Amino acid sequence: MANLKKSPLFKISLMIILTVLLFVSFYFIKGPFLDKDALVKKVETALADQNVRQLSRILTSSNEDLVIDEENTKILMDYLQKNPDYTQSLLTVLHEQSRYYDDDSFKTGKEQPRIEGFLTLKKNTNSWLPDNYSIEIDPVYLTITTNSKHATLMVNGEQVVKANEAIYEKKVGPLLPGEYKVEAKLKTNDTDINEKKQVVLWNSDEEINMNLNDEEVGMDSNE
């Protein structure tokens, strides 16, 4: 037995077994194994309880640049709280997508239809591990344009960029759907020009113009 433990084949086999055990453990820790109906129910509970933390842990995206944390998920949750009809619509879509996997048409390899909405219940098939489900969210993008060089562009209080051309355009994203506050600031010799707008990003990308030369723009005096 002692000689067996010292053999190269035994060491290699042991390393393979340990690697597999670590991989399987990581697989289940990273994404708890839930059937599709339980996963949809978890989303429903998170939305009903306004549980931002739980929802942020459930949502995934195929866009690796999309940040899904509690801060960003709260933007989505706040907008759904103001628009309960949208919440019900999202849940209806998820339940319909769940029933799709029970339908014989899915077994034929037919592509899952994207029912209206930006949440998609996705089946993740693995070759030698149990299949699992995830809920993917489609990101949205916001394009900000301004006609003022040196204008500082901000989204939800955070500086995005400072314009360096007279006609400037900046694409912001990927973002989670929700309502965002866009602000443009420009310091001059005697005044600070400041414009604020609200924009809703939902099922499509949006473009917003921050025109700092417009007479309707608010001007805050330095004095």
Q: What is the pLDDT of residue 118?
A: 76
Q: Is the peptide bond before 174 cis (omega within 30 degrees of 0)?
A: yes
How far apart (Å, rounded) are the C-alpha atoms in residues 64 and 44? 25
Q: Provide the pLDDT for residue 53.
A: 97
Structure tokens at 74: 């709260």
Q: Are 57 and 29 in contact (CB under 8 A)?
A: no
Pairing of strands 59-60, 132-137: parallel
**31, 40, 27, 200: which is closest to 120 by C-alpha?**
40
pTM of the entire predicted model: 0.75
Q: What is the pLDDT of residue 82?
A: 94
Neighbours of 214 (CB within 10 A): 11
* CB-CB contact of 92 with 116 (8 Å): no
Q: Tell me if 60 sits within 8 A of 137, measured CB to CB.
A: yes
| Predicted pLDDT at 64 | 92
* pLDDT in single tens digits along all 223 residues of the chain: 445 445 666 556 656 665 655 554 444 444 445 688 999 999 999 999 999 999 999 999 999 999 999 999 999 999 999 999 999 999 999 998 888 877 655 555 555 554 556 788 988 776 666 678 899 999 999 999 999 888 999 999 999 999 988 889 999 999 999 999 999 999 877 788 889 999 999 988 999 999 886 444 444 433 3
- The two three-digit tokens of residue 184, written as one number: 């443009």
Q: Is 160 exposed, middle or buried (0-12, 13-18, 19+ CB in 10 A)?
A: middle
Q: Which amino acid is at 50?
A: Q
Radius of gyration of the chain from its Cα atoms, rounded to whole angstroms: 25
